[in-house]
Amino acid sequence: MKVLVTGASGWIGSATLPRLVARGHEVVATARSDSSATTLSTAGVTVVRADLEDPESMTRAAEGCDAVIHLAYHHDFTQIDRAAEMDRSVLEGFAEALAGSGSPLLVASGVLGVAQEGLARESDPQTGPFARSHTATWVTTLSDRGIQPVLMRFPPTVHGRGDVGFLRRFVEAASSRGTAAYVDEGQTRWSAVHRDDAADLIVKVVERPTESRVHAVGEEGVSMRDIAEAIGVSLGIPTVSISRDQAQAEMGFLGMLMTVDASASSEHTQRVYDWRPEGPILLEDVRNGAYLDPA
Ligand SMILES: NC(=O)c1ccc[n+]([C@@H]2O[C@H](COP(=O)([O-])OP(=O)(O)OC[C@H]3O[C@@H](n4cnc5c(N)ncnc54)[C@H](OP(=O)(O)O)[C@@H]3O)[C@@H](O)[C@H]2O)c1
């Protein structure tokens, strides 16, 4: 298959590319900078220049492809609506390029905010208040245009050595505070997946896009208290409980996120795709210092 991967230079994309190449797919990867283009060109893929800010460049990249794996995203939490608008325009272009072909369009999303209570499941629609959730809901309607849309929902932490996501920010916050903090009893739980397991699943899904929502979830829920304790062990600092107000005052957005449950199931995904996450699990990665190396 000729597969377009956007965000190919990113954390998840860079683990996905070699797996696609190893499976014999012809991979086209988007890059928006010279440095990304140079890195990608060593991975045995065709590099095309495209930017989310220029949706037509993305549409052109998708033309003639048999599948699109859309991982690029403008991660600026001060511009949440603008990022979602750009994403929607790019996805409109992909829908145009793939219309009527029956081709898979995999779109990265998250489990955060999917369930109001308990485990988020694949059958749950995206109901969160954010513009990205609206896009996610709309993506699943693209089957009307003769496309196989798949919402790939990732846990808030796709972890591993080199990850610069939320876990690294927790570790950095703990390091500068001198204590690893959790809120109240620390019972809020986050689902998690190792990056390699997530990349293995993406390849399985693009090759057999039968489901409209897939959960790339390796662990259903790891408590914030356990995460803080593992961070404390890795940094050699004490673990403490803080209040919600203190978390938000001292850690802002990150402090707020610590209070949001993001537990999720991947029971359906594991069964349909015969996908068995092999880890390492999140706490192992944290305790073993995966977040202590410079990124
Ligand atoms: N990692 C996680 O824990 C996690 C959790 C939940 C959901 N997700 C979602 O999964 C997807 C992949 O995540 P990731 O962690 O791999 O992301 P990442 O490491 O931050 O990489 C983002 C990618 O998007 C590209 N990009 C950013 N702005 C762009 C623009 N204006 N035009 C074109 N490309 C642009 C970047 O290219 P450059 O190299 O040019 O910067 C990079 O390749 C994202 O949609 C993310 O929101 C990730």
Along the 295 residues of the chain, how does pLDDT read in single tens digits?
999 999 999 999 999 999 999 999 999 999 999 999 999 999 999 999 999 999 999 999 999 999 999 999 999 888 889 999 999 999 999 999 999 999 999 999 999 989 888 999 999 998 777 778 889 999 999 999 999 999 999 999 999 999 999 999 999 999 999 999 999 999 999 999 999 999 999 999 999 999 999 999 999 999 999 999 999 999 999 999 999 999 999 999 999 999 999 999 999 999 999 999 998 999 999 999 999 977 6
Mutate to test the pocket of ligand 1, among 30, 60, 75 (most ligand atoms within 8 A of CB): 75
Residue located nearest, by CA, to atom 33 of ligand 1: 51
Q: What is the pLDDT of residue 182?
A: 98
> What's the CA-to-centroid distance between 53 and ligand 1, angstroms?
14
Distance between CA atoms of residues 257 and 156, nearest Å: 10
Cα torsion 288, 281, 217, 264 to 10°: value is -100
Distance between CA atoms of residues 144 and 149, nearest Å: 10
Q: What is the pLDDT of residue 117?
A: 85
> What's the CA-to-centroid distance between 73 and ligand 1, angstroms?
5
Atom of ligand 1 nearest to the CA of 13: 16
Q: What sign for the dihedral angle of Cα 224, 200, 42, 38? A: negative
The candidate with the shortest Cα–Cα distance to 131, out of 76, 83, 181, is 83
> What's the CA-to-centroid distance between 13 and ligand 1, angstroms?
8
- Report in angstroms the alpha-carbon separations of 231 from 13, 137, 161, 170, 245: 26, 35, 14, 8, 21
Outline which parts of the chain fall under CATH 3.40.50.720: 2-157+193-217
> What's the CA-to-centroid distance between 51 and ligand 1, angstroms?
12
Outline which parts of the chain fall under CATH 3.90.25: 160-192+220-263+281-287
Question: How is domain 2-157+193-217 classified at the CATH fold level?
Answer: Rossmann fold (3.40.50)
Q: What is the pLDDT of residue 126?
A: 83
Q: With a threshold of 0.85, does the pTM exceed it?
A: yes
Which residues does residue 242 pair with via DSSP β-bridges, in sequence order?
A: 183
Which residues does residue 4 pair with via DSSP β-bridges, in sequence order?
A: 28, 68
For residue 178, count other CB atoms closer than 10 A to its CB.
10
Q: Is 11 in the pocket of ligand 1 (CB under 6 A)?
A: yes
Distance between CA atoms of residues 144 and 142, nearest Å: 5
Q: Please, are residues 208 and 280 in contact by the beta-carbon 8 Å criterion?
A: no
Q: What is the pLDDT of residue 36?
A: 95
- Alpha helix locations (H) across 99-243? 131-139, 166-177, 195-207, 224-235
- Asked if omega into 280 is within 30° of 0 (cis), the reply is yes
Q: At what angle do helices 55-62 and 80-98 cross, to 10 degrees?
A: 30
Q: What is the pLDDT of residue 295?
A: 67
Distance between CA atoms of residues 244 and 236, nearest Å: 24
The candidate with the shortest Cα–Cα distance to 114, out of 138, 145, 136, is 136
Q: Please, are residues 292 and 238 in contact by the beta-carbon 8 Å criterion?
A: no
> What's the CA-to-centroid distance between 241 and ligand 1, angstroms?
32
Q: Please, are residues 247 and 121 in contact by the beta-carbon 8 Å criterion?
A: no
Distance between CA atoms of residues 174 and 218, nearest Å: 25
Distance between CA atoms of residues 136 and 153, nearest Å: 10
The CATH code that applies to domain 160-192+220-263+281-287 is 3.90.25
Distance between CA atoms of residues 37 and 175, nearest Å: 34
> Environment class of residue 271 by beta-carbon count within 10 Å: exposed (0-12), middle (13-18) or buried (19+)?
exposed
Distance between CA atoms of residues 71 and 55, nearest Å: 14
